[in-house]
Amino acid sequence: MYFYPMRIDIITTLPELMESPFSASILKRAIDKGLVEVHSHQLREYSDRKHKQVDDYQFGGGAGMVMTIEPISRCIEKLKSERDYDEIIYMTPDGKTFNQGIANQLSTYKNIIILCGHYKGVDQRVRDIYITKEISIGDYVLSGGELAASIVCDTVIRLLPGVLGDETSALTDSFQDDLLAPPIYTRPADWNGHKVPEILLSGHNQKIDEWRHDQALKRTEELRPDLLEGTENE
């Protein structure tokens, strides 16, 4: 079977920040195998102002600079002239909180753009005109959207077919069924008297599956009861 690679275009003033997450381990392998293409675009190259400025003072006054619409518009329009995009995402602390459900949905798309904000954020007209999805990675403020974008990319890329060696392993992750993962063990079966639960050594697969499900439920009730309330995810 042939898979078209997913394509992720990242618009940023700090493309160098977007290099190392894709230069090692699973993400690097996914790129090397041609399962995903990640392209970073230096927003400053789309500025026509001196010193390649991409921000300006707020109308109405107030502290903090705002990213201007012109370079962002030029960059997005250029990308859109080259291919169709399924989603144009803006990383922002006031977006919808990222979760596994959003990652699953994004992993089905062919082309996405991720815009990384800085300073106070972008001119509202960028959001109104271009952005189709706004994502936050949590209720805290980063110095820019790049680290958040790399988290989204990591979460999405590992879901793409062929990226993980064991095709089923992404499906058994924590959160895939709104449950945390059960406890896991490996050798030795007895470490200084701390023993692995007997059932896991029994070879009885159905019993093991039941035990794992019970443990997952118990752990979720203890640590993340909110997941069981069915209020999470889209």
Quote the tokens at residue 224.
């993340």
Decide whether 11 or 163 has the Cβ nearer to ligand ADE.
Answer: 11
91 binds ligand ADE (CB under 6 A): yes
Decide whether 152 or 163 has the Cβ nearer to ligand ADE.
Answer: 152
Q: What own/partner pairs with CB < 8 Å and gap ≥ 24 does 207-211 have? A: 211/182
Q: Which residues inside 112-171 make contact with ligand ADE, applying CB under 6 A? A: 117, 136-138, 140-142, 145, 148
CA distance 171 to 183: 16
Write down the least CB distance from residue 17 to ligand ADE, Å.
Answer: 12
13 binds ligand ADE (CB under 6 A): no
> What SS3 state is found at 163?
coil
Query: Mask of contacts with ligand ADE, 44-83, x by CB under 6 A?
Result: ----------------------------------------
Rounded alpha-carbon distances, angstroms, from residue 85 to 82, 112, 228: 10, 5, 34
Decide whether 2 or 140 has the Cβ nearer to ligand ADE.
Answer: 140
Quote the tokens at residue 188.
């030795």
Write down the least CB distance from residue 127 to ligand ADE, Å.
Answer: 13
